[in-house]
Amino acid sequence: MISNRGKKYHKFKHISKLAIMLAAAILMQSLVVLNTAAATVKSNITALVHNVNVVTLNWNDYLTNEINYYLERSVDGGIFSTVSYAAANLTTFTDSTVQPGHIYTYRVKVMDSTYTTYVYADEISIRTDEVARPDSLTPTTVSSNQIDLKWTYPAGKISNTIIERRTEGSTSWTEVSRVPAGQNAYSDKAIAAGIKYYYKVRSYSTEYIKSSAYPDEYDGISAVSMLPRPSNLSGFALSGYKIQLKWQDVSFETAYIIERRASNEGAFTEVAVLPQNTTSYIDNVAHENSIYSYRIKALTGVTSSEYSDVLNVASTYLKPPSWLTAVSVDGKKISLSWQDLTTNETGFEIWRKAPAETEYTLYDTMGRNANSYIDLNVSPQKNYSYKVRAKINDNEVYSDFSNESGALTTPLSPPANLSFNIISKTEVELTWDDTSSMEAGFIVEKKIGLLSQWYQISQLEPNVTKYNDKWISSTEPTFYRIKAFDRSTAVSYSNEVQLSLDAPEVPSNLQTSVLSTNDVKLSWKDNSSTEEGFIIEAKQLYLFREIGRVDSNVTTFIYHDAIPGRTMTYRIRAVKGLVQSNPSNEVATVTLVNNTYSDLGSVSWAAEAINNLASRNVFEDKSNKFNPKQSISRGEYCAMLVRSLGMEKAVAGRFADVTVKHKYYKEIMLSEYFGIISKDKNNKIYPDKLITREQATVMLALALKIKGTPLPQKDSSTLKEFADFKLISYSSSRNIAAACGVGIISGRIIKGRVYLQPSNNVTRAEAALMVYKGLIYNQGNQ
């Protein structure tokens, strides 16, 4: 039986146990809330330092269940104490009790609806006397898109700086830049013309510690950007005493000022003030045939523009061109034509506005009496606009501009495969392929004589592919072409054909072979017995042009001026007097790309020769170094000669100093076989001995003779022009005189006298140039 005391003990024990369990549950719940809240909801604290005694702390309110915020402060690392009890939703506190020379650390705590308190913001430490506020700011307007800012800090202070800006009428500030410590100037170039801007600056040490702004947080200091300066200023004489000015209108302006300076005056003077939106002015001048300079600026009540470019205009009247038309040709070029109405111009200016441009710019010039121009520098499916004016060179005399004309580079497919069939001595049938579905029709064009102008003989409906010309002549060469046109301004031309009853037969089977970076060999079949020669034509980009001629019955040609790594298309015509055959088949050929040696800068005079020979695989070394100033050996020079001139023969043997293991064994054997070099009585060639200028010249002359293109002989007495001619051996003199005669070798001027220096060693660059000149001579005289 349990006593009353025992019952009380058990009851107390039970109640205590429940209390402990309840307290533990409450504690666990509070820990969960604390951990959850602290882990998921948090704010940064920032400081705005006004001066050494005042700092404002700010944080964010991300909570909905808070009761209070508490701002705590520690001084110089001491114990935190509460300096502010902030009500719910309050996120700022200004501490006016700080002192310079101390470190203040702040943090924010929060009490939530469960009366749980935890740290809400990380700590931030500040020493107010180390956060300097700028004490001046000066904005200066430079142009329509630039305002320069300068500011200062109190003596001895430097700091990182934040620049903020707003426009007039706005209360929203935007940070435009951050400038590192020690730099107290900034150019704001991200502005628009004619706008009033306000600026303020502040220092910062971290992202969370900044000074207050100078001059203040709300208004700032203002500056107005300049207006855009007037552009496209042009002028011309309406008569000997009137000058017309034109320009492009500026936005936001309220007036224009026109200033003028005569050629005998030193300063500009104001001649007119014009209202807004004006774009032209007629100035009455005092003297005919005199030059006047003009400039204009736009202005408002608070700002102005920079002056326009100065324009010089002569009071000499020129009648402007008229009827300017622009036509897209084949979608690859634009053809301009206009009417020339003046007689005393010296030329014309072509002004163009490309698709991405807002203003016309001077694009090209033409000579006196010009009335057409072809623009090859266009892109497909783009709009281009043009205008033209006449001029008198060197006198600042210009006419007014013509009308403006534009064209879209529409790729209208050209008629193809134009050919003819002779019906009789007075009639020819033309046929072609219609390759487009966009044409509005075809125009048949004709010209009689090689140098005459094309003219229209018929206009045909779309889809027509045949036309008969019943008016042909048997005495003059006649040319035809077909022009397709659409309903805009696009045209496209077929190939041209030449008709002549006396024309020679067309060459055929044109073939090409690439010899080097610059050299292409052409060969063809001669099908005519009446030709007087052949014309070689090449096309790069769009047009064929003549690149050479050869005599009748010649069926090869080497073109030496091809561009490395470029594609060119070739064709051949037979010619008899002024009459040409139709062209042969066309062959497109890509020349070799230059070997890129990196050390040819000091021997630019030999770079073309070295690169050309490299493309012919004359040099075995494939590195990017040529070593042009290194002296060359007899063996390597033999290799240069044999490889470049294509001297092939199966040979074998050996010499006392040349075995099959020698680097240039094959070339040395070929050189000895052809008689370019010879062994001595000891059966030696001396392949590794350095070669002299005299030896190299003689070897080259012998090699050219063996190739069937000997150098034209010269009297050795011509060598007396060299101050050291007596050093040349008698046996070499004729070959050296011949090489000098064609420019393969030349003298060097030393102290006013010309020396040949025959006993000097030859560098690799000199050897390459000599061999290249010999190669060109050989190819040109085969």
In this structure, the number of other CB atoms found within 10 A of the CB of residue 189 comes to 11
Tell me the two tokens of residue 199: 């600026």
Rounded distance, CA 639 to CA 115, Å? 99
| Confidence at 425, pLDDT banded by 50, 70, 90 | confident
Rounded distance, CA 267 to CA 466, Å? 70
pLDDT at 8: 44
Q: What is the pLDDT of residues 675-709, one digit of tens each?
A: 999 988 889 989 999 999 999 999 999 999 998 88
One domain, residues 336 and 463: no
- Does 409 map to a domain? no
Amino acid at 595: N
Q: Residue 775 CA to chain centroid, in angstroms?
A: 37
pLDDT at 394: 66
Between 73 and 475, the higher pLDDT residue: 73
Rounded distance, CA 735 to CA 716, Å? 8
Q: How far is CA 177 from CA 162, 198, 210, 225, 320, in A?
A: 6, 14, 15, 18, 52
| Confidence at 348, pLDDT banded by 50, 70, 90 | very high
DSSP conformational letter for 603: G
Rounded distance, CA 545 to CA 573, Å? 12
One domain, residues 485 and 584: no
One domain, residues 195 and 246: no
pLDDT at 17: 47
- Residue pair 250/227 in contact (Cβ under 8 Å)? The answer is yes
With a pLDDT cut of 90, the percent of the chain lying above it is 48
One domain, residues 453 and 579: no
One domain, residues 554 and 581: yes
pLDDT at 741: 87
Rounded distance, CA 568 to CA 541, Å? 8
pLDDT at 474: 60
Rounded distance, CA 213 to CA 224, Å? 21
Tell me the two tokens of residue 486: 């659409």
Mean per-residue pLDDT, 424-434: 87
Amino acid at 192: A
- Does 398 map to a domain? no
Mean per-residue pLDDT, 451-460: 91
Q: What is the pLDDT of residues 511-548, one digit of tens each?
A: 998 888 788 999 999 998 888 999 999 986 667 888 99
pLDDT at 38: 45
Mean per-residue pLDDT, 485-497: 86
pLDDT at 28: 43
Q: What is the pLDDT of residues 174-210, one digit of tens each?
A: 999 999 999 999 999 999 998 999 999 999 999 999 9
- Does 1 map to a domain? no
SS (H, E, C) 540-566: ECCEEEEEEEEECCCCEEEECCCCCCC
Rounded distance, CA 570 to CA 546, Å? 10
pLDDT at 475: 66
Q: What is the pLDDT of residues 62-120, one digit of tens each?
A: 898 889 999 999 999 999 999 988 788 889 999 999 999 999 999 999 998 888 999 98
pLDDT at 778: 84
Mean per-residue pLDDT, 575-588: 83
Angle between helices 693-706 and 665-674 (to 10 degrees): 70
**pLDDT at residue 56 greater than cutoff 60:** yes
pLDDT at 9: 45
pLDDT at 5: 47
One domain, residues 151 and 240: no
Tell me the two tokens of residue 107: 């943090």
| Confidence at 266, pLDDT banded by 50, 70, 90 | confident
Q: What is the pLDDT of residues 391-403, one digit of tens each?
A: 987 667 899 999 9
State the chain's mean pLDDT as an integer: 87
**61 contacts: CB under 8 Å, gap ≥ 6:** 43, 89, 90, 91
**pLDDT at residue 712 greater than cutoff 70:** yes
One domain, residues 220 and 238: no
Tell me the two tokens of residue 513: 């072979």
**pLDDT at residue 14 greater than cutoff 50:** no
How many domains in the chain?
A: 7
**287 contacts: CB under 8 Å, gap ≥ 6:** 241, 262, 315
Q: What is the pLDDT of residues 105-137, one digit of tens each?
A: 999 999 988 889 999 898 999 999 989 999 999
One domain, residues 487 and 585: no
- Does 23 map to a domain? no
**pLDDT at residue 293 greater than cutoff 80:** yes
* Long-range contacts, stretch 376-379, CB < 8 angstroms, 24+ apart: 376/332, 376/333, 376/541, 376/542, 378/332, 378/333, 378/334, 378/409, 379/355, 379/409
Mean per-residue pLDDT, 715-734: 88
The enclosing domain of 367 has a CATH number of 2.60.40.10
Choosing from 314, 342, 369, the residue where a domain stops is 314
**pLDDT at residue 37 greater than cutoff 70:** no
pLDDT at 2: 43
One domain, residues 381 and 468: no
- Does 13 map to a domain? no
Rounded distance, CA 402 to CA 414, Å? 30
pLDDT at 7: 45
Between 451 and 674, the higher pLDDT residue: 674
- 421 by DSSP, 3-state: which? strand
Q: What is the pLDDT of residues 541-576, one digit of tens each?
A: 667 888 999 999 999 998 888 878 788 899 999 988
| Confidence at 26, pLDDT banded by 50, 70, 90 | very low
> Which H or E run contains 694?
helix 693-706
Choosing from 224, 251, 282, the residue where a domain stops is 224
Tell me the two tokens of residue 136: 């001046």
Q: What is the pTM of this model?
A: 0.46
One domain, residues 622 and 771: yes
One domain, residues 607 and 664: yes
- Does 766 map to a domain? yes
Amino acid at 31: L
Q: Is residue 701 exposed (0-12), middle (13-18) or buried (19+ Cβ within 10 Å)? A: buried
772 phi and psi angles, rounded to 5 deg: -65, -40
Between 40 and 562, the higher pLDDT residue: 562
Q: What is the pLDDT of residues 297-311, one digit of tens each?
A: 999 988 999 999 999
pLDDT at 350: 95
Choosing from 82, 112, 129, the residue where a domain stops is 129
One domain, residues 200 and 251: no
Q: What is the pLDDT of residues 597-634, one digit of tens each?
A: 888 888 888 888 888 888 788 887 777 888 889 999 99
| Confidence at 651, pLDDT banded by 50, 70, 90 | confident
In this structure, the number of other CB atoms found within 10 A of the CB of residue 533 comes to 15
- Residue pair 432/512 in contact (Cβ under 8 Å)? The answer is no
- Does 32 map to a domain? no
Domain ranges, residue 57: 39-129
- Does 25 map to a domain? no
In this structure, the number of other CB atoms found within 10 A of the CB of residue 515 comes to 21
Between 498 and 351, the higher pLDDT residue: 351
